[in-house]
Amino acid sequence: MITSLYSLLYSVALAVGMFVSLPYWLFQMVRHGKYRKGLAERLGRVPARLQLTGAHEPVIWVHAVSVGEVLAVAGLAEELRRGSQRRIFVSTTTDTGQELARRRFGEANVFYFPMDFAFAIRPYLRALRPQMVVIAETEFWPNFLRLAHASGTRIAVVNARISDHSWPRYRRFRGWMRKLLANVDMFLAQTAEDAMRLQDIGASPERVRVSGNLKFDIPAPVPPAIVETVRASIAGGGARPVLVCGSTVDGEESLLLKAFENILVQHPRAAMILAPRHPERFPAVVALLEQMSVRYCRRSAWNGESLAGGVFLLDTIGELAALYALADVAFVGGSLVPRGGHNIIEPAQHGVAIVVGNHTENFRDIVSLFQRRDAVRIVGPAELPLVFLDLLANDAERRALGQRAAETMRSQIGATARTAGELQELLARP
């Protein structure tokens, strides 16, 4: 009775919140084209492409919010499918995650995750009849967890983590969280710290295990053609050194461009590859480049012009990870301003010297691991230009820093196999 009351109150609050914020969502749709794609799927319309071949075809539903989660679960999905007749369906929340998932898993196996209303969720549970739902990281949607559990589906949260920001908020509602998390059969945490936090907010200790971070197992991407094209341009035009600044957010580009101006004083033929995190910000970054009178060219309009002494604005999706290989120094964004940081594994795979800001709460364990092994430089805005210049002036230290990053990453591989083993065990339970 109490659980039903909680569910009703939550659903009413969610509906009211969505109604009140409707102008924002409409603005995002009109201005940036966000949330328009897959709207019918989000509202519970199961696309015809998600067809099962038989009434008893075993199904696993994997939910991965965006690009990072899709990459993290790709290897896991292959492990779960290997040697079985299981069908793996993948849902995502973001458009970029959807595009990548369709390329990785095939359009007939990918759809947008439904909104957390019973009318949107039930059609998918009826159509797919999943044996198990696998949720990447920490997506605790109350109605979804309740309805999936009630349908007899096993639920596992993999690569689970509780961020510094989320932990106090969850603890305030520990009584409610305990009831919510009781719907989950298994939590596979990234670290012992995450496991402790899961138990602290209400997860049953016997359901929590540590399996490691799946993102360490993500293979380096096959380089797109642009990588060799840019490499040849850098070599032919003498554009050295190269600074790759990836996943930058509002408030960071101005700091990075000012640092780049300092670099140009000592290295007039230096080049910066600048990759803003969100595509809708590309025009704003172009405006900033023009305002600061920085010479630049957009990747989407580049015809092979020299990159020496200027900025190469990466206004495309899916190429940054491979382009880190061209860096003398890589900066990973979302960290100079309080946005929690982004994943540093991609540059580490290429053995590149990595610099981040001091706001890395969302990746605290990865960054702490690299910091303990002297495999990353953490700086504030004031020190940023000096750290860049110091690394560029010291070839031996820069290369050693990158080598330690690559070695640190390789030492953590194995989470995919451990996670797959735990999930197989969960599926085999009576």
Q: Kindly state whether residues 178 and 208 are assigned to the same domain.
A: yes
State how far the Cα of 6 lies from the Cα of 143, in Å rounded to an integer: 10
Q: What CATH number corresponds to the domain at position 332?
A: 3.40.50.2000
Q: Kindly state whether residues 244 and 314 are assigned to the same domain.
A: yes
Q: Kindly state whether residues 161 and 236 are assigned to the same domain.
A: no
Number of structural domains found in the chain:
2
Q: Kindly state whether residues 372 and 300 are assigned to the same domain.
A: yes
Q: Kindly state whether residues 418 and 401 are assigned to the same domain.
A: no
Per this entry, what is the length of the chain? 430
pLDDT of residue 303: 94
387 falls within a domain:
yes
pLDDT of residue 314: 98
Active-site annotation holder among 41, 57, 69, 383: 69
pLDDT of residue 341: 95
State how far the Cα of 87 lies from the Cα of 98, in Å rounded to an integer: 18
Q: Kindly state whether residues 49 and 187 are assigned to the same domain.
A: yes
Tell me the residue range of the domain where 93 lies. 39-212+414-428
Give 395-417 as a DSSP string. Answer: HHHHHHHHHHHHHHHHTT--HHH
Q: Nearest-CA neighbor of 202 among 229, 246, 169?
A: 169
Contacts for 2 with CB less than 8 Å, ≥ 6 apart: none
State how far the Cα of 73 lies from the Cα of 257, in Å rounded to an integer: 35
Peptide bond into 241 cis (omega under 30): yes
Residue 332 structure tokens: 């990973």
162 falls within a domain:
yes
Mean pLDDT, consecutive 10-residue segments, the chain of 430 residues? Answer: 67 81 74 77 96 84 95 96 91 93 96 96 96 94 96 97 92 94 97 96 97 94 93 96 98 98 98 95 97 97 96 94 97 97 96 97 93 98 98 98 97 96 94
Give 138-207 as a DSSP string. Answer: ----HHHHHHHHHTT-EEEEEEE---TTHHHHHHHTHHHHHHHHTT-SEEEESSHHHHHHHHHTT--GGG
28 falls within a domain:
no
Q: Kindly state whether residues 346 and 392 are assigned to the same domain.
A: yes
Contacts for 182 with CB less than 8 Å, ≥ 6 apart: 202, 204
Contact 74, 108 (CB under 8 A): no
Is 397 a catalytic site residue? no
Q: Kindly state whether residues 136 and 206 are assigned to the same domain.
A: yes
Q: What CATH number corresponds to the domain at position 51?
A: 3.40.50.11720
Torsion region of 305: left, alpha or beta (phi above 0 gives left; psi -120 to 50 gives alpha): beta
pLDDT of residue 32: 66
Q: Kindly state whether residues 207 and 239 are assigned to the same domain.
A: no
Sheet containing strand 186-189, strands side by side: 110-112, 87-92, 59-63, 132-136, 154-160, 186-189, 208-210
Q: Kindly state whether residues 421 and 380 are assigned to the same domain.
A: no
144 falls within a domain:
yes
Q: Kindly state whether residues 56 and 195 are assigned to the same domain.
A: yes
Q: Kindly state whether residues 267 and 142 are assigned to the same domain.
A: no
